[in-house]
A and B are shown apart, each in its own frame.
Chain A
Amino acid sequence: MTTTDIQNEIIDNFSLFEGDMESTLFYLMDLGKKLPAMPDEHKTETYIVKGCQSKVWVFPTFIDGKVHFEADSNTEITKGLVYLLWSIWNAKTPEEILNSELFFIDKIGMSSMIGSQRSNGFANMIKQMKLYALAYKTKGA
């Protein structure tokens, strides 16, 4: 699936809650559970995403031209958000990651939902994942 297809699917799934915050948050926390376990030895200072209220780790690897992410968070709602990004970008080429626009965020009312402090953290996660993609693109080219 393309990053666009995946985002459309996310938008569809969230639309079921018709803007009800509580069920949306419960759903996000359940999504977080789907994130593959991240080995503790990768949860180091180096791989912490800076500027998040919660702790978020993203550990990248580059295999056969694709970027693979391990990711985790110490809070469940954030972990759900991390899962969304992971589901869109894991095992994609650096170009796919760098060229994709994350239109799902506005469509699922993310910014009103997660408050400005967390939005900032979320923006930092996005930036960090794109920076890793850029690094592999530059190195891999």
Chain B
Amino acid sequence: MLNNINNIRLQFPILHQEVNGKPLVYFDNAATTQKPKLVIDALQRYYELDNANIHRAAHTLAARSTEYFEATRKTIQQFINAKEEAECIFTKGVTESINLVAQTWGKANLKAGDEVLVTTMEHHSNIVPWQMICEEKGAILKVIPISNSGDLLMEEFDKLLTSKTKMVACVWVSNALGTINPVKEIIQKAHAVGAIVLLDGAQACSHLQVDVQALGCDFLTISSHKLYGPTGVGVLYGKRELLEAMPPYQGGGEMIKEVTFEKTTYNEIPYKFEAGTPNIGGVIAFKYALDFVNELGKENIAKHEDHLLKHFVDGVTQINLLNNHAITLVGQANNKVSVQSFTINNMHHFDVGMMLDAKGIAVRTGHHCTQPLMQRFNLEGTVRASFALYNTTAEVDVLLQALGSIVKFSNR
């Protein structure tokens, strides 16, 4: 467990404010997490002291920013236990990481009749890039269905997985349901038919231990802003042999070895995929977020967050006992992270979101960029509360109380 939650909260300046006259309760962590002071300071320090373009000029500032930039690569390599730093490519987020794979690996490897498997619970960013490349190549996108509780139907996966399957692109942890998918089993089965596996790690990496070598995944996508780091920074992990064989993504500076008007030769990985000037300050500050999470320990964080989730679900059960089951939990997988979607009878999720905002509580409402998943549950959207390492049971109680009065109002 995380002891000393108050000390942890003190490191997040944004938490200490009032919203609509009430202390802010931030439960929209699955959308983006808040940033510790260390990260904010690192960003500021970079622009005040170190700003220079990387991998280029011979001056001291450039050397310094290059060194710090590459230090983050080392840290993320260790964070996910990649074999080598060169397998970690900086992008602007998970969306770009997935598009990169679809547009390079997909372009080089998919042909007419090939199949790409995704799950019903994918974020749009792990659907649309595959739809685009499948359409271009005449490949077919197939969908692994889920149960009412929000678990993948593995026997359906077994049926869909054939020698035609070239790619299994699968969310590790669902942002809308919180479900932790059995990715190890998925990877083993996919590899057995010769398919490549991309894991969307947007939500997983802040909650779960990540070891890409133990998992054996071919690609993993990571987003800094969901991991207590700056926005506009992401990582694509890929196995060296795959990355080397892939054509470049964007052309420009940094990604070349030599350019003539007749022919250009490309740089080595990871630089081959890092055209142009990246978000240098953001990447440098991301290291501080990773160090922060490492120091607290993923296991401790997960225990704390699981406790918050259980406290919330128990509270909802109580409200439901007294109010004719007014709240429906959406996503009740056995194995899940601290994300809980729900709906309230006779109340639109937008109205619930505004009522909670009136109490200083920030939640997400809507389809969570998972419209096919919402359609699966016959919903237009849900309210989603997602808990992070700096949240407290007292805050969960504030939410439960607010929900209690909304439910009473809706029953009037």
Contact = CB atoms under 8 A, between A and B. Distances in A.
B358 A22 contact: yes
A53 B365 CA distance: 11
Given A21-B20, A22-B355, A22-B358, A75 B409 contact: no
B348 interface: yes
B351 A77 contact: yes
A54 B349 CA distance: 10
Given A21-B20, A26-B409, A76 B359 contact: no
Interface in A1-54: 21-22, 24-26, 29, 53-54
Interface string B326-369: 00000000000000000000011011001101110000000000
Nearest to B19: A21
Nearest to B347: A76
B350 A25 contact: no
A118 B409 CA distance: 22
Contacts of B354: 25, 77, 114-115, 118
A114 B355 CA distance: 11
Contact of A29 (B21, B357, B409): B409
Interface string B72-108: 0000000000000000000000000000000000000
Contact of A74 (B20, B348, B357, B358): B348
Contacts of B355: 22, 25
A75 B359 contact: no
Contacts, number: 35
A75 B358 contact: no
Judged by DSSP, the binding face of A is helix
A113 B409 CA distance: 19
Interface residues of B, number: 13
A29 B351 contact: yes
Most buried by A among B350, B359, B405: B350
B350 A22 contact: no
A75 B381 CA distance: 12
A74 B347 CA distance: 10
Contacts of B350: 53-54, 75, 77-78
Contacts of B351: 25, 29, 75-77
Contacts of B357: 21, 115
Interface string B51-87: 0000000000000000000000000000000000000
B348 A25 contact: no
Contacts of A114: 354
Contacts of A78: 350
Contacts of A54: 348, 350
Interface in B30-58: none
Nearest to B359: A22
The 6 closest A-B pairs by CB, nearest first: A21-B358, A75-B348, A22-B358, A75-B350, A76-B351, A77-B351
Interface of A: 21-22, 24-26, 29, 53-54, 74-78, 114-115, 118
11 contacts: A22-B359, A22-B405, A24-B358, A25-B351, A26-B409, A54-B348, A54-B350, A75-B348, A76-B348, A77-B354, A115-B357
Given A74-B348, A77-B350, 10 more contacts: A21-B357, A21-B358, A22-B355, A22-B405, A26-B409, A29-B409, A53-B350, A75-B350, A76-B348, A77-B351
